[in-house]
A and B are shown apart, each in its own frame.
Chain A
Amino acid sequence: MAAEPMIRREHVGLRREVTVWGSFTWGYADVGADVYVALGLVMAAAQGATPLAFLIAGIVYIMVGLAYTEMAAAYPSAGGGQYFVLRGLGDFWGLVAGSALMLAYTVDVALFAMASAGYINFFFPQFREFHIPIPLVGSINLIWLGETLMLIALLVVLNIRGIRESSLLNQILGALDMILETSIVVIGFLFAWHPEYFIHQWQTEFPSLDRLLYATSLAVISYVGLESVSQAAEETVRPATVIPRTSMALIIVVLLFALAFPVVSLGILPWHEVGGREGDPVALLASELPFVGFLAGPAAAILAATILLISANTGVMGSSRLAYSMAQLGLMGEGLSEVHPHYRTPVKAILFFSLISVLMAVFAFFSGRRALEAMADLYAFGAMLAYFLSTIALVMLRIREPYVPRPYRVPLNFRWRGVEIPLLGVLGIVGTGLMLVVVMWTHPIAQVTGPLWVAVWIGYYIWYRRRTGRPVWKSLPRDWIAEQVRILENSGEWDLLERFRIEVEHWRRSQKGV
């Protein structure tokens, strides 16, 4: 019997059930999980100056976060960064941003599955220490690799069978995780933190400039994931009102944790102990707390393993959603976004991008470097390229679509040719651009693999657009005004819709010179 034919995915409106807390925890499950991975990696590189590395990356994150907040509130569509870039800069750059995000998502799956396995191994020290020497490569922890591959396989099966991420589960886990992280920080500061020890490490263990820059580019990964809040825009209740609030809260909360963890750690433990525990640095820190360490360590490990797995799952979901969005916008063929007739899920996209994640995980373990670090290299490249283009899109959208009402505007604006240009947006372009240069300069894997990944996507795009008779360098004609009305009608943001209609009418009149 012939295999069941795949069917095209029908556009079915997503149910709006994500509340303000749901939206926050959705993002927190993604961004908040990053510190579990980044702490050890950054501390291994920045040593006593780890808080500084997190702070520099955090400043760039604030600018990117504000840009995302403005765009996600003005365009509450599920496309996220790739959609903003396509709308602001055109199809080609939309494709480049899409490819960068696709890289971030596929790496996300490998990286967070790996990190989740690392925290599971908190309970199995013999697994953590298990290494097999392999000629030309070095010693490889094959058990950790095996666990990572099993977790990816588990996510693939769950996603193919359509067991979707539960918003309620996210909310509960997000709340538990925040309580736990807060407890670690507060108990650490109250009962175990020694400022003199922190200052001693800062003064005596300050890294070279090269190492600090490298650490900063790694610290960037602790801020990746704000995208998921705007990706859920079409499922969020009153997205234009809720998303700016959740995004702003996420910016503050994540920054708070990202700065607090290294400060607490350096006041309690020597940097090389935390930096040496690549797989489970937060669990190590929690287990060193007085009074509650015996309980906090295992609790942190369990919660971290769970939340990191959820974060890996957002990568599986995100890559298939992104493939669908890119196919809808004419940037790639619809083959990968087809829905299986039985499971009603995009099986091809899930399998294809998960296979790439598996290859990346294997590559990371065999790259001759620390596996998590190798993945973090690529993650930082993908995220920074997408963020760089998104901040440019912010400025371009202000120029091209001044009539779109923005419930939240990036502060500090100056007028240029009658348009309000966000100063922080311009600084964000410079910041993310510099960070991209630093990533390219200091990350040997990202130097080659990152641009190669984007080049392969561009090659495919050129081939696809030529084959379908569409322009390669020009954008397809689109009625963005009608699209905006559709988005706002669907979101139920009536005041924004009315404002949009008025602004468009006035803009049209001003264009005609009335």
Chain B
Amino acid sequence: MIGHPLGVFLALLFLVVLIVTLIWMLRVPRPVPMEVARAVYSVEAARCIVVPIVEGIYSERAVELACRLGERQHARLVLVHILEVPYTVPLNTPLPDLEVRGQRALETARFIAIQHGMKPEIHLVRHRSAPEGILSVARQVGADQIIMGIGLKRRTSSDGLGRTVHEVMRRASCEVIIAKAPIVE
């Protein structure tokens, strides 16, 4: 004959907790092969990501990509806008229009990063050469990755990547990821 209702409740509670615990324990996740682990963690190895910023959707997509790549491992995100100063004028020559546009681009990029819960570092750097400026910042911050967003308005006979991208890819000591948006025909 069944005993007290509290006893029945305790017996059932005991059984449920025991069975749920054992089922959880026995459901071991699948093992990760060595090659897979290397591939996965080579991406996760990036702890400092530099994103060169210019005005336009391509840079903003690059920031979004950088955030997604760096979010999991709480990577340091460095957003850099290079204010390219011509050799014909001194480096500290006021360029108010360009500075405002650069700041605006950086602010948009920062907003994207904040949406992901990241706290980006903002650099507006005056330099004679954009690729040299990017590489210089990357060296200073110990970048693991540089992510550059580019876009082409039309198909070209050459690769169409431009001088900055070529220079950065050729000379960077860290990984460089080029995010090329599709051409809209």
Contact = CB atoms under 8 A, between A and B. Distances in A.
Interface of A: 20-21, 24, 182, 185-186, 189-195, 238, 241-242, 245-246, 248-249, 252-253, 256, 260, 263, 267, 492, 494-495, 497-499, 501-502, 505-506, 509, 514
B31 A194 contact: no
A501 B41 CA distance: 9
Given A189-B10, A256-B17, A502-B45, A494 B33 contact: yes
Interface string B26-60: 10110111101110111011010000000000000
A241 B29 contact: yes
Contacts of A260: 10, 14
B3 A256 contact: no
Contacts of A186: 11, 14-15
A5 B32 CA distance: 46
Contacts of B38: 494, 498
Given A191-B1, A256-B14, A495-B36, 4 more contacts: A189-B11, A241-B29, A252-B21, A498-B41
Contacts of B47: 506
Contacts of A191: 1-3
Of the candidates A20, A21, A252, A501, the one having the most CB atoms from chain B within 10 angstroms of its own CB is A252
A238 B29 CA distance: 10
Contacts of A195: 4, 6-7
Contacts of A20: 25-26, 28
Contacts of A494: 32-34, 36-38
A46 to B, nearest CB: 20
Interface string B81-109: 00000000000000000000000000000
B18 A182 contact: yes
A499 B26 contact: no
20 contacts: A182-B14, A185-B11, A191-B3, A193-B7, A193-B10, A194-B7, A195-B4, A241-B28, A241-B31, A252-B17, A256-B17, A256-B18, A263-B10, A267-B7, A494-B34, A494-B37, A494-B38, A498-B38, A498-B42, A499-B44
A252 B10 CA distance: 16
Contact of B21 (A193, A242, A249, A495): A249
Nearest to B23: A249
Contacts of B181: none
A492 B40 CA distance: 16
Contact of B8 (A189, A252, A499): A189
Contacts of A245: 24-25, 28
Contacts of A238: 28, 31
A192 B10 CA distance: 12
B10 A495 contact: no
A189 B4 CA distance: 8
Contacts, number: 94
B117 interface: no
B142 interface: yes
B183 interface: no
Contacts of B44: 499, 502
B184 interface: no
A514 B174 CA distance: 14
A425 B21 CA distance: 23
B30 to A, nearest CB: 10
Contacts of B41: 495, 498-499, 501-502
A193 B44 CA distance: 56
B142 to A, nearest CB: 5
Shortest Cβ-Cβ A-B pairs, 9 listed: A498-B41, A189-B11, A249-B25, A494-B37, A193-B7, A495-B37, A494-B34, A189-B7, A495-B32
A246 B26 CA distance: 9
A375 B1 CA distance: 41
Chain B interface, DSSP helix/strand/loop, else mixed: helix
Interface string B119-154: 000000000000000000000001000000000000
Nearest to B40: A495
B183 to A, nearest CB: 36
B21 to A, nearest CB: 5
A189 to B, nearest CB: 4
Contacts of A514: 142
A248 B24 CA distance: 10
B3 A190 contact: yes
B130 to A, nearest CB: 24
A31 to B, nearest CB: 14
A248 B11 contact: no
B10 A509 contact: no
A498 B40 contact: yes
Contacts of A256: 14, 17-18, 21
A237 B125 CA distance: 53
A33 B32 CA distance: 35
Of the candidates B4, B24, B31, B45, the one having the most CB atoms from chain A within 10 angstroms of its own CB is B4
Given A241-B28, A498-B41, A506-B47, A192 B14 contact: no
B4 A194 contact: yes
Contacts of A502: 41, 44-45
A498 B37 contact: yes
A278 to B, nearest CB: 26
Contacts of B11: 185-186, 189-190
A253 B33 contact: no
Contacts of A185: 11, 14
A447 B159 CA distance: 82
Contacts of A242: 28
Contacts of B17: 252, 256
Nearest to B20: A252
Contacts of B28: 20, 238, 241-242, 245
Contacts of A21: 26
B45 to A, nearest CB: 5
A492 B34 CA distance: 8
A24 B47 CA distance: 37
A20 B18 CA distance: 16
B27 to A, nearest CB: 8
A191 B7 CA distance: 8
Contacts of B29: 241
Contacts of B24: 245, 249
